[in-house]
Structure 1
């Protein structure tokens, strides 16, 4: 599973999301939107953060801890 956290360099919510990824034990990479205008265009991103999972836009907003836990729990059930 490939998880991309798409943020601007000034996005203060990124630290909380990264903490939650670590607590969930999932690997992720951070991509700065300033460096990836192609991702902005492809996914029509208007705000930071956004989270891509396996190339699919999973979150277009900063998810709550519960939203993230529920999302990954559902992914595990499907696999």
Structure 2
């Protein structure tokens, strides 16, 4: 599973989301929107933060740890 955190370089929520990923044991990659205009265009992104999971836009806001936990539990049940 590939988890990408798509954020702007000035997004102050990054540290919180990274902590939530670490608390849940989820590996992730940070991509800055300024460096990846193709992702902005492909996913029609207008805000930060965004989370892609396996290339699919899963969140267009800062999810709570509870939201993340529920999402990943649902993913595990499907696979």
TM-score range, shorter chain: over 0.9
What are structure 2's unaligned runs of at least 5 residues? none
TM-score (norm 1): 0.96
Q: Number of residue pairs matched?
A: 79
Deviation at 1:7, TM superposition (A): 0.4
Aligned alpha-carbon RMSD (Å): 0.6
What are structure 1's unaligned runs of at least 5 residues? none
Deviation at 1:66, TM superposition (A): 1.0
Residues 7-54 of structure 1: per-residue CA shift (max 9 Å, x gap): 001101111111111111111000000000000000000000000000
Where has structure 1 moved over 3 Å in runs of 4 or more? none
Equivalents in 2 of 1:49, 1:30: separation in Å? 10
